[in-house]
Amino acid sequence: MRIQPFTSGICNTNSFVAYGYASAKALVVDAPDGNDAVVAFLRKEKLEPEAILLTHGHFDHVMGLPTLLEAYPGTPVFVSKNDYYLLEDKGAGNMELFRTCFPSFEKMLLQNMSSLPEEYKFYEDEAFGFKVISTPGHTPGSVSLHNVAENLLFSGDTLFASSYGRTDFPRSSARDIARSLRTLLALPEDTLVLPGHGTGTTIGRERNNLYI
């Protein structure tokens, strides 16, 4: 598996294209705003996205969905059922977050969310070769995607390099994210971690960096 990373949007959010050496199929992990480079890469490499996999439903990970779906209509978008409230009704569930934490950007953010898709698919235990690990805390439905064969983890906003996701947002939980971090830190120490923000790391490195 090959991984092409991108960073874009008002929150410098990471997204990733995962694809094979021989297959024309690809997976897109998260969809921040300003992600035109993702579409350009897919077209350049003649890749067809098989699915868009969301680690959670916060605005900075989903505002690029219209761009991707305009270029590749009908691509299924997967999210945890527990984060669907953030996306239904054109992202209305994000309004609480806007008003409490990003009030100066509320009008602009709401406008960008107005084009979100109406249909989503909910994760089960596995998705396209990835084990779907429930990692609530940053949001109630945050997930991390673990590919055992590739020793790879997309951790979203749960685990970062030397840090972890904020829990001062509406419906976040410090207690839940502590449990989720313990789950992730039990993975093999050489697992490559690709987070939703910042640089990559490994499970072994974070065992030494985090005290939970």
> pLDDT, tens digit, for every residue of 79-137?
999 999 999 998 888 988 888 888 877 777 777 788 999 999 999 999 999 999 999 99
Task: Answer for the pair 156, 176: CB distance below 8 angstroms, yes or no.
Answer: no
Residue 62 banded pLDDT, cuts 50, 70, 90: very high
pLDDT at 22 over 80: no
Question: pTM here?
Answer: 0.95
Task: Answer for the pair 112, 69: CB distance below 8 angstroms, yes or no.
Answer: no
Instruction: Show the tokens assigned to 194.
Output: 């690709």
pLDDT at 141 over 90: yes
Helix (H/G/I), strand (E/B), else coil: 42: helix
**What number is the average pLDDT over the span 9-20?**
95
Beta bridge partners of 78: 53, 121
CB atoms within 10 A of CB 45: 13
Instruction: Show the tokens assigned to 75.
Output: 């691509």
Q: 85-108 burial by CB neighbour count: b if 16+ within 10 A, else e?
A: bbbeeebebbbebbeeebeeeeee
